Amino acid sequence: MGAQREYKIINDPVHGGIRVEGVVLELLATPEVNKLSFIRQLGLANLVFPGANHTRFEHSLGVSFLAGRMGEVLSLPPEEIKLVRAAGLLHDLGHGPFSHTLEALLRKRIGRDHMQITGDIITGREGSGEVPVILEGAGIDPKEVERLILSTPLKEERSLESFVDGEGQIFFRGRGYLNQIIHSAIDADQLDYLLRDSHYTGVALGMVDLPRLLNTLVLYHNELMVHRRGLSALEGMLVARDLMYNAVYFHKTVRIAERMLVEAVDRLGEEKMGEVWDMVDGDLLCHLKAAGGYPAEIARRIMSRRLYKSAYILKAESAEDRHFEVLRKLKDEEELKELEEAIRRKVGGGEGEVLIDLPTGEIAVSEPRLRRADVKVLDDGRPIPVSRISSFARALQYRYTPAWYLMVCCEERLRGKVSKVAEDIIFG
What local confidence, expressed as pLDDT, does residue 171 receive? 37
pLDDT exceeds 70 at position 161: no
**Which CATH superfamily, name and number, covers 7-251?**
Hypothetical protein af1432 (1.10.3210.10)
Helix (H) or strand (E) holding 383: strand 382-385
pLDDT exceeds 90 at position 398: no
- Average pLDDT value for residue range 391-419: 90
What local confidence, expressed as pLDDT, does residue 152 receive? 67
* Whole-angstrom distance, CA of residue 195 vs CA of residue 191: 6
Count Cα neighbours of 298 within 13 Å in the Cβ-side half-sphere: 29
What is the pLDDT confidence band of residue 173, given thresholds at 50, 70 and 90?
very low
pLDDT exceeds 50 at position 157: no
What is the pLDDT confidence band of residue 369, given thresholds at 50, 70 and 90?
low
- Average pLDDT value for residue range 162-175: 42
* Whole-angstrom distance, CA of residue 112 vs CA of residue 107: 5
* Whole-angstrom distance, CA of residue 138 vs CA of residue 72: 19
Strand, helix or coil at 373?
Answer: coil
Strand, helix or coil at 2?
Answer: coil
- Average pLDDT value for residue range 24-45: 98
What is the pLDDT confidence band of residue 273, given thresholds at 50, 70 and 90?
confident
What local confidence, expressed as pLDDT, does residue 163 receive? 33
- Average pLDDT value for residue range 65-70: 98
What is the pLDDT confidence band of residue 110, given thresholds at 50, 70 and 90?
confident
Query: Which among 271, 278, 276 has a CA at the least distance from the CA of 127?
Result: 278
What local confidence, expressed as pLDDT, does residue 166 receive? 36
- Average pLDDT value for residue range 349-361: 92
Strand, helix or coil at 349?
Answer: coil
Q: Give the least confident one: 168-177, 285-294, 374-383, 403-412.
A: 168-177
| Mean pLDDT taken over the chain | 90
Q: Specify the higher pLDDT residue, 396 or 253.
A: 253
* Whole-angstrom distance, CA of residue 167 vs CA of residue 161: 9
What local confidence, expressed as pLDDT, does residue 371 receive? 56
- Average pLDDT value for residue range 109-113: 88
- Average pLDDT value for residue range 266-284: 92
- Average pLDDT value for residue range 149-159: 58
What is the pLDDT confidence band of residue 156, given thresholds at 50, 70 and 90?
very low
What is the pLDDT confidence band of residue 366, given thresholds at 50, 70 and 90?
low
Please return the burial class of 15, using the count of CB atoms within 10 Å of its CB with bins 0-12, 13-18 and 19+.
Answer: middle
User: Which stretches within 45-187 are classed as H helix?
Assistant: 56-73, 78-90, 103-110, 114-123, 130-137, 142-150, 160-165, 176-182
* Whole-angstrom distance, CA of residue 275 vs CA of residue 62: 29
pLDDT exceeds 60 at position 148: yes
Cα 226 to chain centroid distance, Å, stands at 23
CA distances from 367 to 40, 189, 272 (A): 17, 11, 26
pLDDT exceeds 80 at position 386: yes
